[in-house]
């Protein structure tokens, strides 16, 4: 049997997938962005509607991203279909 010459790359891809490097980098970048936006917003004397909208979009996007990050897992969701009859 011949060794797979790409096995090291497969192992590296598996390690990166298991360590979830990219999602962690993205969430860390978002946390930094959120911090900077909030500090900028709080330093404004009289925020306008547009500036408030920007902060709202950044916070909302982060909530969506965090929900996707925490909702993604390697395990499939449990089977919600039961063997019980629907007709009672």
pLDDT of residue 66: 81
Give the residue extent of every domain in the chain.
1-44
Dump the DSSP string for 29-85. Answer: HHHHHHHHHHHHHHH-SS--HHHHHHHHHHHHHHHHHHHHHHH--SSPPPP---SS-
Are the C-beta atoms of residues 34 and 16 closer than 8 Å to each other? Answer: no
User: What pTM was estimated for this model as a whole?
Assistant: 0.63
pLDDT of residue 70: 79
Tell me the CA distances in angstroms from 13 to 33, 37, 74, one per residue in order: 28, 34, 15
Ranges of the chain with pLDDT below 70: 1-2, 72-88
């Amino acid at each position: 049997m011949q060794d797979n010459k790409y096995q090291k790359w497969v192992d590296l891809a598996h390690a990166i997938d298991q360590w979830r490097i990219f999602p962690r980098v993205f969430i860390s970048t978002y946390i930094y962005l959120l911090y900077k936006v909030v500090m900028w917003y709080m330093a404004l004397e009289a925020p306008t509607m547009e500036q408030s909208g920007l902060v709202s979009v950044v916070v909302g996007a982060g909530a969506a991203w965090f929900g996707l990050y925490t909702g993604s897992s390697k395990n499939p969701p449990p089977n919600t279909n039961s063997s019980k009859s629907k007709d009672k």
